[in-house]
Each structure stands twice: as structure tokens, then as C-alpha cells.
């Protein structure tokens, strides 16, 4: 059971870490951020950073790695929202 639990832990971490990869690629290619919410991505980034800090506190390498990956993708999108939403106005 321990191996099965570890498997699902890694699967969950990897899935949530890369869930913003398709959106990140699409946003980079199209630079279309009109339908993306600044506040949703801001809150998500704060949450990811909080999980990383909590992972440091728990000494959980998996928590730190997977949330760092997710933070990178979400932060790229957030930066693009800030950069390109100003141009739309």
C-alpha cells in the first residue's frame, strides 16, 4: 500500500504542477490574455508560494519541487496578464 500511496502522491503532484503548461504555451503563442483573470492568477501564485514555504517547513522535497514547477507556469501567465492587459486598454 505504501508504494501505491507514493505513486498517487507523485501523480497528483505532477498533474497539478503541469496543469498550467497548456495555458502557458497558448498565452505565450497568442499573447491573448483578455479572458484571463488577474486576481485568479494572483491568488493562485500566493497559494503556490505558500505551499512551497510549507514544504520547506515539512522538509518535503516533493511538495517544494511540484509546487515550484506550478508556480513558474502560473507566474509566467500572471506576468503576461500584467504586460498585455495594459496594452488592450
Domains and their CATH numbers in the chain: 2-88 (1.20.1280.290)
Query: What would the DSSP string read from start to end of 45-60?
Result: HHHHHHHHHHHHHHT-
Whether 67 has a pLDDT exceeding 80, the answer reads: yes
User: pLDDT by residue (tens digit) across 24-50?
Assistant: 999 999 999 999 999 999 999 999 999
User: pLDDT by residue (tens digit) across 53-65?
Assistant: 999 999 999 999 9
Kindly indicate the confidence band of residue 86, based on its pLDDT and cuts at 50, 70 and 90.
confident
pLDDT reported for residue 88: 57
Neighbours of 76 (CB within 10 A): 18
The whole-angstrom separation of Cα 46 and Cα 49 is 5
Q: Whole-model pTM?
A: 0.86
Closest to 50 in 3D by CA, of 67, 72, 70, 69: 67
Amino acid at each position: 500500500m505504501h508504494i501505491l500511496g507514493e505513486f498517487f502522491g507523485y501523480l497528483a503532484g505532477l498533474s497539478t504542477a503541469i496543469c498550467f503548461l497548456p495555458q502557458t504555451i497558448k498565452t505565450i503563442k497568442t499573447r491573448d490574455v483578455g479572458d484571463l483573470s488577474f486576481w485568479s492568477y494572483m491568488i493562485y501564485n500566493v497559494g503556490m508560494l505558500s505551499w512551497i514555504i510549507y514544504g520547506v517547513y515539512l522538509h518535503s522535497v516533493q511538495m517544494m519541487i511540484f509546487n515550484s514547477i506550478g508556480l513558474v507556469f502560473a507566474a509566467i501567465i500572471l506576468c503576461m496578464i500584467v504586460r498585455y492587459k495594459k496594452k488592450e486598454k
